[in-house]
Structures are given as structure tokens and as C-alpha cells.
Amino acid sequence: MAAEAAEEVDVLIVGGGGAGLRAAIAVAETEPGATVAILSKVYPMRSHTVSAEGGAAAVIGLADSLDEHAYDTISGGDWLCDQDAVEAFVREAPRELIRLEHWGCPWSREPDGRVAVRPFGGMKQLRTWYAADKTGFHLLHTLFQTSLKHTEIKRFDEWYATRLVTDGERVHGVTAIDIRTGRIDTIAARAVILATGGCGQVFPFTTNAAIKTGDGMALAYRAGAPLKDMEFIQYHPTGLPFTGILITEAARAEGGWLINKDGYRYLQDYDLGVPTDTPKLRSMELGPRDRLSQAFVHEMRRGRTVETPYGQVTYLDLRHLGEAKINARIPFVRELCLSYEKLDPVTDLIPVRPVVHYMMGGVHTGVAGETPVRGLYAAGETACVSINGANRLGSNSLPECLVFGARAGAAAARYAVQAAAPDQQAVRAQGADERRRLERERDGRDGGRERISEVRALMRRTLEESAGIYRDRDSLEKAAGTLADLRERAAVARLEDRSAAFNTELLAGLELGSMLDVAETIVASALNREESRGAHQRTDFPARDDAAFLAHTLAHRGPDGTPRLSLLPVTITRWPPGERVYGR
């Protein structure tokens, strides 16, 4: 692991998914003379954005309005969204999706040539644009090929960022491992944008790719930027039981039913806050994700779910849609079921269960993606701006990556061209520190008793049991104790691989460190919020409490490494808090 002189760029983006690529293009367009680089632990096209299926929401057509999209988002988020951010989001989302069309994104069409839209959970109007059920693939591909046209965008593919270089007030760059060679290097930068995605991997069952380990959240947290609203974790009601692979909400938007072991559409027994009188838009299966996941737990308690080797399931029934519609509208669902469950949705029921899908929380930012650390920005799932509040509506996060990726890119570019050059001395000194730490990690831990995977599995189980769909004080307090113990065990867990090239064991150890940081903030934030709101359901505090908790949770890393919490008021512009209903 040799030391190298620091590279230097104006703006460094960590993450090559939807938010990162969009940010890079925005930097190049805003300040054509600026130098910009994307550093990503996987090749950009392998980012999790590629797996998004259902679609991207933005107002289109005369029946809809920006205010309605804003209202659906805010009420869906149980009034925890910052309304200035939501207003910017709904205004800019249509422009972003049209821009993508001009860059080559093949949006699905109606027979008359107009862009096709499908219903989506919690959205009162048809506003979810899609490209069959491979929306994320086409979106990411479009962004990637557009980024290639900007030859000034440099790439560090398969580089793993391990630390932000800061002086306590502003950012000066990052340290990173070149995964292919094992070299530990520093890249100095005037501005850094974190676009590292979510952290579903802290839970045992998740739709999230293995790379979604909350690294960016941990990087920011350790550098002094707080994490916001980490207690809000979205379960998606329809994941495949063993793999956690997502069966997109589009399957229910196209008319799929959820049934229990008796073949009964059980959602009719629950209050979903959704009128079911206009079935095209609001079938009960298109209720909000948190309520559907909660209904599953009640079905399980009533003994109306089906036991499988991988836990309890209910069924998604698509058989009545017929083969032609399934092939035309949701071909990928059929492909996934055939490949991973050996069943055909044309003739068979699909076993499903709620799985962790999305983090509403993340790095605390303002509407330009700026964090409290000067020069440090965040966008996409790793950020919390916050448009998702206590519960994200499906199909809002792809446009969020575009709108706030673009905003963060533009803001970082403008900041970088007037900012002082990064402090090379700090970059070198912190780079040397980090190199020593990583070499110790890699070479000095073969005597450990436990494997990283064992500690990781315990962390995941702890989170599922304590901070899952329902929480209470006792289980959360117990989890906080367990996590403290796991942190000590993780620090001495065994690392046997000493090779330099593609040392995935070392990376797994570093990712576990990120996940433990994130897990601690989730548990501490959930413990502190003594109310139930959106995806955060406390059985010991079942009601929403606006008097005490119409506020964001901020988690700062304290001097002893544990979270210090405070509350930040929610920004309300035009929609005073009301009951959470979907039909006004």
C-alpha cells in the first residue's frame, strides 16, 4: 500500500448512481471550466438506481397540478416533510423528466404517443412516468451516457471512500482505497458531494443491493454533519421472502391483489387512509407502504399468514391480469418470479412479505444539498432534504435524485470556483493517518474470534427485532446495549485476507463500521421519538403528537462516538398539519 501524491479536483462526487451522475452533469454545465470527478465503489451502472422498476413521479397533463403532487407528498409523509423542499421538488421534477427524455430516456408511451403514466401508492393522480418496469435501468443508462459526453468528468471506478478530510469546519477531500490494487490514496477537493445511496443492509431482509451500507451517512456523521430523521425506515410490502427481491408496486398498480392464506383480500379489514371508491387510482392495494406493511403484521398475529422456511408470507395475486398484460406492463416481475421463485405469476400466487426498502432519513441538508460542514453536500437517498418526511411515496425518489442531484451539483460548482484551494497539508496528514489505520485493519486482525459476517448478522437481527415495523422503549433500549457490545466485537473481528487486490473482507469490515454508526442513530432516534408517525410506530406511544414532535430528529456524533440528539422544527409553507388522508 504505497503513498501517492494527492490528486486534486474542484468537485468530487462520491457515488455514481442517479444522484451522483446527475450532480456531475450539473457541475459540468454550471461551471464548464471546473474539474469534476466521480468516485464509486462499483462501476456506475451497477449502482442501486439500476434496479428501480416502478417509475418516477412528476406532474404531467391538465388533470394534475403541482399543488396536488405537493399535498400528496406532504400528507403521505405525515407532515414531517419540509414544505419549501417539496415545493421545489414538484416544480422541478417535470423539467427533469423531460430533460431525461431529451437525453434519450425511452419513457413508455400511450398509443397516441403521449408519455404514459401509471397510478402509484398514495398518489391521487396518475403521475408516475415509467419505462416498462425497468425505469431505473433506463434512467441510469441515460444519465451515464450523457455523463460520457462531458469528457471533463473524471472517474474513479471501483474506489471505496473511507474518510472525509476536514479541518472541523470545511471539507478538503477524501481518502479512498483503489479496490483493484489496494492502494490507499487521497483526492483533494474544494467541494465533495455525497451521493452514496441508502443503508437497507443494516436489516436482514431488504430489497437493497449489497452495496447499500450507509457509507456516506457514516462519512458525514464522523465529519460532524448530523444525520436527520433516521428513525424512519420504509418497509415495502411486497418483497420475495428469501432474497428480499422487490416485486414492484407497479404490479399492484396494474391491478394485483394481496390475499391471505384463505384467499381473502385482507386489506379491506384495515384503515389505510385510502378511499377505495375510485378503484383505478386508489385500490386498497395502493394504500401507503407503511400501512400495508403494518396490516401484514396484524394478519400474522391473527394467524392468517402462511408459514414458509423463510418466515411468514401472504400472497400477491396477478393471475387475473392475464399473460398479455403481465408481459406488456410488468415483464420483469415475471422474469424475477421465474428466476428466483421458480413460479409463473400468470398461473401461480407469489409469496411476499414486507422488506426494508428505503431510508427516509439521511445526511441533514438544505434545499441546495448543502450540509453544515462547508463544502460538503449530499443528494439522493443518502441525504435528507427532506421531501419524504415520515414515509416516502413510491416513485418520488428517482425524481428526488434528479432534482436534488442537479441542485447539489450546481451549488457545489458555484461554491468550488470561489472557494480557497484545499489544504494539501491536511489532506496529506489525514491521508497518512488513514493509511496507517487501514493497514492495521488489514494486517493485524487475523487472531480475532468472530467473523465479520457473524457480527453483521447479529446487528441485522437486533435492528429487525427492535426497530422494525413496530417498536417500543424496552426493545429499543435493549438494542442500544446490544449495538454497543457489537461495536466492540466488530473492532476485533477476524480479518484473514491480507491481499491487496480486491480485498472484499477488508471492505466488508469497513462497511460494517458504517452500518453500526447508522444503526446506532436509527435506534437512538427511534427511542427519542415518543409518538407514532408514518413509518415510525411505537406501540407504547400509538398517537401522533404534533405538540412535541412536529420536528426533525438530528443525530450528531458525540465525543464518545455515540449519537447526541436534538430536534429541528419542520418548515411549513402552505399546508398546515392535518389528518393523514389521501382523498381530500
- Footprint on this chain of ligand FAD (rule: CB under 6 A): 14-20, 39-42, 44, 47-49, 51-56, 135-136, 160-161, 195-197, 207-208, 211-212, 215-216, 246, 358, 380-382, 395-398, 401
Q: Do the annotations mark residue 298 as ligand-binding?
A: no
Q: Which is nearer to ligand FAD, 34 or 143 (CB)?
A: 143
Per-residue 3-state assignment (H helix, E strand, C coil) for 90-149: HHHHHHHHHHHHHCCCCCCECCCCCECEECCCCCCCCCEECCCCCHHHHHHHHHHHHHHH
Using CA atoms of 340, 341, 347, 353 in order, give the dihedral in degrees to the nearest 10: -110
What is the rounded CA–CA span in Å between residue 246 and residue 353? 10
C-alpha grid cell, residue 428: 496529506
Least separation in angstroms between CB 60 and ligand FAD = 15
What is the rounded CA–CA span in Å between residue 29 and residue 13? 15
Q: Is 494 strand, coil or helix?
A: strand
Least separation in angstroms between CB 362 and ligand FAD = 9
Closest Cα partner for 400 from 5, 121, 19? 19
Q: Do the annotations mark residue 17 as ligand-binding?
A: yes
554 half-sphere exposure, CB direction, 13 A CA radius: 16
Strand partners, 115: 109
Q: Which is nearer to ligand FAD, 233 or 476 (CB)?
A: 233
Closest Cα partner for 365 from 231, 229, 235? 229
Q: Do the annotations mark residue 362 as ligand-binding?
A: no
CA distances from 539 to 288, 473, 523, 529, 531 (A): 19, 9, 15, 12, 9
Least separation in angstroms between CB 187 and ligand FAD = 11
Q: Which is nearer to ligand FAD, 186 or 196 (CB)?
A: 196
Identified catalytic residue from 170, 190, 282, 289: 289
Least separation in angstroms between CB 420 and ligand FAD = 25
C-alpha grid cell, residue 266: 385482507
The residue whose grid cell reads 470527478 is: 37
Please provide the size of the chain in residues. 584
| 289 among known catalytic residues | yes
Q: Do the annotations mark residue 135 as ligand-binding?
A: no
Least separation in angstroms between CB 307 and ligand FAD = 26
Q: Which is nearer to ligand FAD, 299 or 370 (CB)?
A: 370
Q: Which is nearer to ligand FAD, 25 or 527 (CB)?
A: 25
Closest Cα partner for 164 from 193, 204, 136? 193
Q: Do the annotations mark residue 19 as ligand-binding?
A: yes
Q: Do the annotations mark residue 248 as ligand-binding?
A: yes
Q: In 302-423, where does DSSP find H-type helix?
A: 323-329, 331-340, 397-418
Q: Which is nearer to ligand FAD, 207 or 260 (CB)?
A: 207
Q: Do the annotations mark residue 377 as ligand-binding?
A: no
Q: Do the annotations mark residue 224 as ligand-binding?
A: no
Q: Is the dihedral of CA 467, 229, 243, 513 positive or negative?
A: negative
Least separation in angstroms between CB 39 and ligand FAD = 5
Active site residues: 289
Q: Which residue numbers belong to the known binding site for substrate?
A: 236, 248, 357, 392
